[in-house]
Structure 1
């Protein structure tokens, strides 16, 4: 969609803004929001609020086991009222901010701002702080090692100059942006649901192939193993230790080099290089501590870290087949009750697998290579659509709040509901 520009512009005198509509003011942030620093001296257990990136202000209880924990002492917490703008001073650059629809208290490291409603509508104030160019400028004043986690404060924000139309025009912009971003958000959610379904389908295809085979008419037998159930009658049911030798990884610091050498493999894949290797050949890597449910496949010389096991394969098992099988292991049943999820080598060694002969394993692995690549391609297409939609969303907000488009004549469509067919057409 395209929108007209304003008929007349002026130089804002602000480098990051450039020209703005001629009838707009340019004002520092402190002129339309004020910092709220009221504390909770009684320490009452009021509604403790959290910020979730790209979600906004939510009750702490809804956040789940992520991010900072609720403090025991709430006396230093800041009070938050409905309509306050709340910003995580550490994570503003990754979307941790929002307009509160709740009353309560929040972390003392959050910035709490109250829009001056005679000058700015709360929804429009939110859009200003949602502008990516504004965020980049604010983050540039922050203190920290990582740019996206640089701590900012009110002193960093209050003097930044932004364009400001009259409240009647703000109301029109707010209605326009609320409608258009809701449409984009609906499309993003639709794509994310599709991606989740594709991932479920991928794992279901793997699980069925490695435990039931590819022939739907093959005679079956009870494996005697609960998680396997019935398996093809001609398959064996050995323990993992009868197919591979499980070896410990080692600390990579003694062999690390800046370039060249051999890959150092962790739970997320290659992350460093080494001047030596632990093993040269086909292997399936299994997590020992930390990330234990993400097996990896490698073929060639490598070094793996001491928080991972590697395997030496016997001639009875194909590496790709075993890798796919390992993605189906019930890791949660074996994880030790420690601060970090851990797997004992003995537990891994005693996992039962149902396996055919090597030729059939190769057929299954080849089938899964094709099927997973096809599904992965669809997943990546979905992610590309999500990225494109999110870029459009950001560009639309930026164009609106900086006056690059004129939507004063915009009217919401009579039927604002999206249909699946319409949403697909919009994506295209």
Structure 2
């Protein structure tokens, strides 16, 4: 439903009906339950000895993919014969998400493109099995992808910390549809147009990935090339290879520590004190990502003092996403870290960014990850971080490399930002195109697919 034409949805009013004045006379407007079977799955991941072995298509497969086929590595489970009869996936079935912490993540559909014997619709999902006498399954899939339906699901969703749809909400959603010959044309049109958009989207994503990889390679190259310049470590000549002449982080730092455990009780979104987590550290980048922040009202104790960060502190992830590195900016204000992050505090006589860039380079990452390589450990200890050796070329060389890397980061960041904006526009364009097509707002009477061999999935 286009912005500006939105209506207030009363999800408890079964007599509510969206405006259909824009639909052509041959179009119909019916509730989903009249054009498709709709059932919530209760098949969970547990295995019971008295049930039959099956595989489950779960929430993540549906949420992350538009099409479901045999290529997925489905989860093994068990189910009763009745559950198998009701929820075994067939070609043309449509699965969509039932609940989530974000209302925008509910009602997300995926199309089953082939029969999948022994594979069942899993828990937290709805299974829609279209009445093919009335609608093509492909058309209903595109309709469920539209804003027209998403708007209804948004109005019907209930919850505070987790949003969900009831079977009644879903079954009573209104679906516009034309005669089947027109449905077929719309399906062909959307297959073609969305593929064009998706190709450009994928190319843009790859370009963003390339920019990130290029920056990561540049960090390593810059660090490595400094070995050919005048190198000094506290007055001693050293090479760039890791050796005993290079000082360990714990020997050149004021402290190497980590944050507190169990601070969830101090979460306070009205506080200005930031609580930094692993999600605030980025791959191939030393700048913190402060878009997703938690806030705390910390206790007045020694643990809080220990875990409060200062500008120039170097942060290292020591559990999940092990080895991610970040540097605390000068405008951080009051901020703390959790127990999953190590905090390195160099003295003012040491250039913090040099150490951070070194740790983010391939050489630094090799040392950081060495203790967990081989699977003998599932995380880094503070001693592991403290034992990493860092080469120090002359301070002028350090500053020159840091300045060049900062300059290149800003340039690549600008390009990435422009590409991210393009991705947002493409996503919006795709959704608007689908909505207009499945609500009869695009004249397709003369449209012919460029490729007559084009298929749906």
TM-score, structure 1 length as denominator? 0.78
Query: Residue 112 in 1 paired to residue 127 in 2?
Result: yes
Deviation at 1:183, TM superposition (A): 0.7
Which residues of structure 2 form unaligned runs of 5+? Answer: 1-15, 232-236, 281-289
Q: Decide which of 411, 435, 440 is 1:403's aligned counterpart.
A: 440
Q: Tell me whether 353-362 or 84-93 shows the greater mean CA deviation.
A: 84-93
> Matches of 1:271 and 1:215 in 2, distance apart?
44
**Which residue number corresponds to residue 13 of structure 2?**
none
> Matches of 1:339 and 1:130 in 2, distance apart?
45
Q: Decide which of 212, 219, 230 is 2:225's aligned counterpart.
A: 212
Q: Is the CA contact 1:57–1:86 (under 8 Å) kept in the aligned structure 2?
A: no
Q: Decide which of 164, 167, 184 is 2:180's aligned counterpart.
A: 167
**Tell me, what secondary structure is at the counterpart of 2:149?**
helix
Deviation at 1:164, TM superposition (A): 1.5
Q: Is the CA contact 1:87–1:111 (under 8 Å) kept in the aligned structure 2?
A: yes
Q: Deviations over 1:290-347 (max 9, x none)?
A: 3433222114554322332212213553112222222232344334999995210111
> Matches of 1:143 and 1:302 in 2, distance apart?
35
> Matches of 1:144 and 1:336 in 2, distance apart?
43
- Aligned pairs (5 A) from 1:116-195: 116-146=131-161, 150-195=163-208
Q: In structure 2, do the counterparts of structure 1 residues 293 and 29 end up closer, same or farther at CA, with 3 Å as the change threshold? A: same
**Which residue number corresponds to residue 290 of structure 1?**
320
TM-score, structure 2 length as denominator? 0.74
Q: Is the CA contact 1:142–1:151 (under 8 Å) kept in the aligned structure 2?
A: yes
Q: In structure 2, do the counterparts of structure 1 residues 52 and 206 end up closer, same or farther at CA, with 3 Å as the change threshold? A: farther
Q: Deviations over 1:217-271 (max 9, x none)?
A: 99x9865539xxxxxxxx9632222222312323556876655654332221453
Deviation at 1:192, TM superposition (A): 1.0
**Which residue number corresponds to residue 53 of structure 1?**
63
Between Structure 1 and Structure 2, how many residues are aligned?
389
Q: In structure 2, do the counterparts of structure 1 residues 415 and 357 end up closer, same or farther at CA, with 3 Å as the change threshold? A: farther
Deviation at 1:178, TM superposition (A): 0.8
Q: In structure 2, do the counterparts of structure 1 residues 136 and 293 end up closer, same or farther at CA, with 3 Å as the change threshold? A: farther
Q: In structure 2, do the counterparts of structure 1 residues 410 and 195 end up closer, same or farther at CA, with 3 Å as the change threshold? A: same
**Tell me, what secondary structure is at the counterpart of 1:140?**
helix
Which residues of structure 1 form unaligned runs of 5+? Answer: 1-12, 64-68, 227-234, 418-428
- Aligned pairs (5 A) from 1:6-405: 14-15=17-18, 19-35=22-38, 43-50=51-58, 51-58=61-68, 62=72, 70=75, 72-75=77-80, 76=83, 78-90=87-99, 93-94=104-105, 96-102=108-114, 103=116, 104-146=119-161, 150-213=163-226, 223-225=240-242, 237-244=246-253, 245-250=255-260, 259=270, 262-267=273-278, 268=280, 269=290, 270-272=293-295, 274=297, 278-300=308-330, 302-315=335-348, 317-328=350-361, 329-330=365-366, 331-335=368-372, 341-405=378-442
Deviation at 1:136, TM superposition (A): 3.0
Q: In structure 2, do the counterparts of structure 1 residues 355 and 186 end up closer, same or farther at CA, with 3 Å as the change threshold? A: same
**Tell me, what secondary structure is at the counterpart of 2:133?**
coil
Q: Is the CA contact 1:297–1:320 (under 8 Å) kept in the aligned structure 2?
A: yes
Q: Tell me whether 309-318 or 26-35 shows the greater mean CA deviation.
A: 309-318
Deviation at 1:156, TM superposition (A): 1.5
> Matches of 2:434 and 2:213 in 1, distance apart?
34
Q: Is the CA contact 2:41–2:122 (under 8 Å) kept in the aligned structure 1?
A: no
Deviation at 1:372, TM superposition (A): 1.1
Q: In structure 2, do the counterparts of structure 1 residues 191 and 279 end up closer, same or farther at CA, with 3 Å as the change threshold? A: closer
Q: Is the CA contact 1:128–1:134 (under 8 Å) kept in the aligned structure 2?
A: yes
**Tell me, what secondary structure is at the counterpart of 1:348?**
helix
Deviation at 1:60, TM superposition (A): 8.4
**Tell me, what secondary structure is at the counterpart of 1:346?**
helix
Q: Is the CA contact 2:35–2:130 (under 8 Å) kept in the aligned structure 1?
A: yes
Q: Is the CA contact 1:243–1:316 (under 8 Å) kept in the aligned structure 2?
A: no
